[in-house]
Amino acid sequence: MTAACLLVASLMILTVNAYAATAEPPPGATACSGCHPASAGRRTGVPPLTGRNPADIVAAMQAFRSGQRAATVMDRIAKGFSDAEVEAIAAWYTDQR
């Protein structure tokens, strides 16, 4: 595992609080935004999550976690989040524009 993967995984493991409805990203979302930009104006080679249906994000994370969806890194990352954390991150990304 590369140092970057270890850093991302470590940051995600530290996410323990549920997201309160604020403009601040919930715990874990900052780790996600390293690859999935939280601003629609920023483009990377990774699909954006901004404005997506939160249920779609949650379903994708569950599929990564269970191994039903192929991944290079997301399968391992998804295992570091609780269901509540995934739901909070999905809701936050949906509100970003």
> What is the model's pTM?
0.70
Rg (CA), the chain: 12
What is the mean predicted confidence (pLDDT) over 64-74?
Answer: 94
Question: The tokens of 88 are what?
Answer: 């909070």
Specify the pLDDT at position 66. 96
Write the pLDDT tens digit of every residue in 20-44.
344 788 988 888 888 888 876 777 7
Set out the domains of the chain in order of their start, with CATH numbers: 3-14+22-95 (1.10.760.10)
Q: How far is the C-alpha of 3 from the C-alpha of 55, rounded, in Å?
A: 31
On average, the pLDDT of the chain sits at 79
For residues 27 and 36, give the distance between their C-alpha atoms in angstroms, rounded to a whole number.
15
**What's the confidence (pLDDT) of residue 55?**
97
Q: Does position 73 have pLDDT exceeding 90, yes or no?
A: yes
